[in-house]
């Protein structure tokens, strides 16, 4: 019984080791096997020619993963293969009309009767509502003529008229006095409000100036703090590390083969000569990769380019690990966040 249990454990261990080995091999392939690319660009002048054509191919691990791209739009083509199985394929831009069926034309409405005569369109009868004015029955309204009685006026005594005049004069004088007092009180209130507004305005200006001064002081303090951080050793070592890692990434992305052949001609031969003169100035730098020929007879821009290279994932993983675990970078981040002085 114990022998059988040990045999089962042995088989399980072998299976787990095989799985771990396969995973390790897959990780190593992803990290160290490069992704290879090849891009061809071409441009030709002429009627009916596209602006440019592109042929690209991307492969990985002995063409186990194979991607092909072709452009322009009239013959666009994309294909993605894994081993020998096609995962994605976009056919040419030509429309396939074989599988499409045309719709039958709509049937016209039969406008003939069973006797063979043409059917007449039906008329819609509109009922007219009866107007009460046309019937002759006019609405009856009662004539509102209420009778009103006028009261006879009685003579008013002269003493009463004089008393009423005196009361009216006194009321006018009292109204003038009260209106004058109200005007004076209104003017005083307006002056008081005006002075209050001026006081509030002065206080607001003072508060604004104080805030601006505080902000300027805080900004100057921040600038001084970050200047000290940038002048420190942590920033210098972190900058040196990031600069070296960026250079390694650019070097890994640099194409192994780059060749460009161009034929350029402008309307004015002088402009073509200026382009060639500028190319001559840059020839020590790009002369190995770029070849430009001038055409002084007609205007055209033709040429072809070939870009070929490879990219490894290990370069990016190595850079990420070195940057993430660097002590100076961690310290610099804390200093920028003001978590540590």
Q: Where exactly are the structural domains of the chain?
A: 47-93, 171-231, 244-337
Residues 6+ apart with CB under 8 A from 86: 79, 80
The pLDDT value given to residue 26? 93
The pLDDT value given to residue 65? 94
The pLDDT value given to residue 18? 96
The CA distance from 43 to 110, in Å, is 61
**Contact between 312 and 254 (Cβ < 8 Å):** no
3-state secondary structure the chain: CHHHHHHHHHHHHHHHHHHHHHHHHHHHHHHHCCEEEEEEEEECCCCCCCCCEEEEEEEECCCCEEEEEEECHHHCEEEEEECCEEEEEECCCCCCCCCCCCCCCCCCCCCECCCCCECCCCCCCCCCCCCHHHHCCCCCCCCCCCCCCCCCCCCCCHHHHHHHHHHHHHHHHHHHHHHHHHHHHHHHHHHHHHHHHHHHHHHHHHHHHHHHHHHHHHHHHHHHHHHHHHCCHHHHHHHHHHHHHHHHHHHHHCCCEEEEEEEEECCCHHHHHHHHHHHHHHHHHHCCCEEEEECCCCCEEEEEEEEEEEECHHHHHHHHHHHHCCHHHHHHHHHHHCCCC
The pLDDT value given to residue 52? 86
The pLDDT value given to residue 46? 78
The pLDDT value given to residue 148? 41
The pLDDT value given to residue 130? 42
Return the ∠ at Cα 87 (arms to 84 and 91), rounded to 5°. 105
Q: What is the pTM of this model?
A: 0.60
Return the ∠ at Cα 268 (arms to 263 and 271), rounded to 5°. 65
Q: Which residue has the tokens 């592109």?
A: 54
Q: Six-digit token pair at 207?
A: 């508060």
The CA distance from 311 to 34, in Å, is 5
Contacts 24+ apart (CB under 8 A), 329-338: 329/238, 329/241, 329/242, 331/234, 332/229, 332/234, 332/235, 332/238, 335/229, 335/232, 335/234, 336/226, 336/229, 338/225
Q: Which residues of the chain have pLDDT under 70?
A: 73-74, 92-165, 172-178, 180, 339-341
């Amino acid at each position: 019984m114990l022998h059988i249990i040990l045999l089962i454990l042995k088989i399980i261990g072998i299976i787990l080791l095989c799985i771990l080995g396969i995973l390790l091999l897959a990780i190593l392939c992803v990290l160290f096997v490069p992704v290879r690319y090849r891009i061809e660009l071409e441009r030709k002048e002429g009627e009916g020619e596209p602006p440019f054509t592109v042929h690209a191919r991307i492969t990985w691990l002995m063409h186990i993963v194979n991607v092909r791209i072709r452009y322009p739009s009239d013959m666009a083509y994309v294909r993605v293969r894994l081993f020998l199985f096609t995962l994605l394929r976009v056919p040419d831009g030509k429309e396939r009309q074989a599988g499409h069926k045309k719709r039958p034309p709509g049937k016209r409405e039969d406008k003939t009767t069973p006797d063979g005569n043409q059917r007449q369109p039906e008329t819609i009868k509109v009922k007219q509502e009866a107007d009460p004015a046309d019937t002759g029955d006019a609405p009856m309204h009662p004539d509102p003529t209420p009778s009103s009685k006028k009261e006879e006026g009685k003579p008013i005594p002269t003493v009463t008229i004089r008393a009423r005049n005196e009361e009216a004069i006194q009321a006018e004088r009292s109204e003038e006095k009260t209106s004058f007092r109200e005007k004076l009180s209104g003017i005083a209130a307006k002056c008081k409000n005006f002075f209050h507004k001026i006081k509030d305005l002065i206080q607001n200006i003072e508060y604004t100036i104080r805030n601006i001064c505080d902000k300027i002081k805080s900004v100057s303090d921040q600038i001084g703090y970050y200047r000290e951080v940038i002048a420190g050793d942590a920033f210098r070592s972190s900058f040196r590390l990031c600069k070296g890692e960026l250079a390694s990434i650019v070097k890994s992305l640099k194409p192994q083969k780059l060749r460009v052949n161009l034929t350029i001609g402008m309307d004015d031969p002088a402009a073509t000569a200026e382009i060639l003169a500028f190319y001559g100035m840059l020839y020590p730098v790009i002369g190995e990769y770029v070849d430009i020929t001038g055409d002084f007879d007609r205007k055209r821009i033709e040429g072809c380019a070939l870009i070929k290279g490879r990219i490894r994932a290990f370069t990016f993983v190595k850079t990420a690990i070195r940057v993430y675990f660097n002590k100076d970078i961690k310290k610099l981040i804390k200093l920028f966040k003001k978590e540590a002085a």
